[in-house]
């Protein structure tokens, strides 16, 4: 049980710092991204041919930010790593970066420890094929897309495996919940590790009355901070659990009982 709950929390935590912002509508050739700053370094994941601007934002007070000069940082086009020459003014901060991306589009999969079969790449809700849609080099950890693939107009979702959990790099064009990606990811995990098929469907922001109709049993709770439907298929039997996350607890709901886990 603890492993299941930990997996849900890790996925939520990792998804945030690695997710690109929607593509810039003010200047079509610029690609903006937010990335966490750790020990005076930040990784852009996608490789830029040039950096146009860098702002350091206080994560505790988002209205506090400073714009860096070109001489304040260095950028490695081989790894996507940005290093800052001087101490930054905030203890916890993110870098908001705008620049022109390298073409063909190339992504650096930071900390990826697995082999090629442990990498899942989804483009516009379809599983991408290695050597046809992209090429991955395990030595450099660089994933290079086919030259005619335009990442700025493509919905992408990449899952790769690191020592502690999954790494995720993603951008969805639509704000709709993507059950297709959830199922493709689940089937990929099943192929790698065996066992039952386990699909996690994000329902954050959906009313619990609608979730109740979807799963077929009543959920009597206050609106949660986040909501996830877990569907498990094992030997033709479907089991459904709904996880509702609150500030200080996680609630597990089934057709038969409701269980609280305090944080």
What tens digit of pLDDT does each residue of 97-140 get? Answer: 999 999 999 998 888 887 888 899 999 989 999 999 999 998 88
CATH of 103-188, one of 3.30.1490, 3.10.110, 3.40.1000, 2.60.40: 2.60.40
What does each C-alpha distance from 239 to 150, 180, 230, 242, 245 come to in angstroms?
39, 19, 8, 10, 20
Beta-carbon contacts of 256 under 8 Å, excluding residues fewer than 6 positions away, are none
Cα–Cα dist 141/167, whole Å? 13
Residue 152 has pLDDT above 90, yes or no: no
Residue 7 has pLDDT above 60, yes or no: no
| Residue 173 confidence (pLDDT) | 56
Tell me the two tokens of residue 186: 């689940």
pLDDT in tens, 49-90: 999 999 999 998 988 999 999 999 999 988 899 999 998 989
Cα–Cα dist 247/263, whole Å? 8
Cα–Cα dist 45/49, whole Å? 13
What does each C-alpha distance from 66 to 60, 107, 232 come to in angstroms?
14, 27, 47
Cα–Cα dist 110/80, whole Å? 9
Q: How confident is the model at residue 238 (pLDDT cuts 50, 70, 90)?
A: very high
Q: Tell me, what DSSP letter sits at residue 24?
A: P
Residue 263 has pLDDT above 70, yes or no: yes
| Residue 166 confidence (pLDDT) | 62
Q: How would you label 156-181 residue by residue, b for 16+ Cβ within 10 Å and e otherwise?
A: bbbbbbeeeebbbbbbbeeeebbbeb
What does each C-alpha distance from 133 to 3, 127, 145, 203, 255 come to in angstroms?
34, 10, 6, 30, 43
| Pair 46, 31: CB distance under 8 Å | yes
Cross-strand bridge partners of residue 97: 33, 54
| Residue 34 confidence (pLDDT) | 80
| Residue 134 confidence (pLDDT) | 96
pLDDT in tens, 153-212: 888 889 887 766 566 777 765 555 689 999 999 999 999 889 999 999 999 999 999 999
Note the pTM of the prediction, 2 decimals.
Answer: 0.75
Q: How confident is the model at residue 45 (pLDDT cuts 50, 70, 90)?
A: confident
Between 18 and 30, whose confidence is greater?
30
| Residue 28 confidence (pLDDT) | 45
| Residue 163 confidence (pLDDT) | 66
Tell me the two tokens of residue 176: 């709709």
């Amino acid at each position: 049980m603890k492993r299941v709950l930990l997996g849900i929390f890790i996925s939520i935590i990792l998804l945030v710092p690695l997710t690109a912002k929607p593509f810039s509508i003010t200047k079509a050739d610029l690609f903006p991204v937010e990335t966490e700053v750790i020990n005076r370094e930040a990784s852009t994941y996608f490789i830029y041919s040039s950096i146009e601007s860098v702002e350091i934002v206080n994560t505790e007070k988002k209205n506090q930010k400073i714009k860096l000069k070109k001489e304040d940082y260095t950028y490695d086009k081989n790894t996507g790593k940005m290093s800052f020459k001087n101490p930054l003014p905030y203890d916890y901060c993110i870098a908001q970066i705008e620049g022109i991306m390298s073409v063909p589009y190339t992504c650096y999969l930071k900390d990826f420890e697995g082999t090629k079969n442990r990498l899942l790449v989804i483009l516009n809700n379809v599983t991408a094929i290695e050597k046809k849609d992209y090429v991955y080099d395990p030595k450099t950890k660089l994933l290079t897309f086919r030259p005619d693939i335009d990442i700025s107009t493509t919905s992408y979702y990449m899952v790769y495996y690191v020592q502690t959990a999954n790494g995720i790099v993603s951008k969805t064009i639509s704000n709709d919940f993507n059950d297709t990606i959830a199922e493709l990811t689940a089937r990929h995990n099943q192929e790698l590790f065996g066992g039952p098929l386990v699909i996690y469907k994000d329902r954050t922001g959906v009313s619990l009355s609608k979730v109740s109709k979807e799963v077929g049993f009543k959920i009597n709770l206050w609106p949660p901070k986040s909501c996830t439907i877990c569907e498990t298929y094992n030997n033709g039997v479907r089991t459904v659990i709904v996880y509702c996350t609150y500030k200080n607890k996680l609630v597990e709901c089934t057709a038969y009982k409701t269980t609280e886990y305090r944080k």
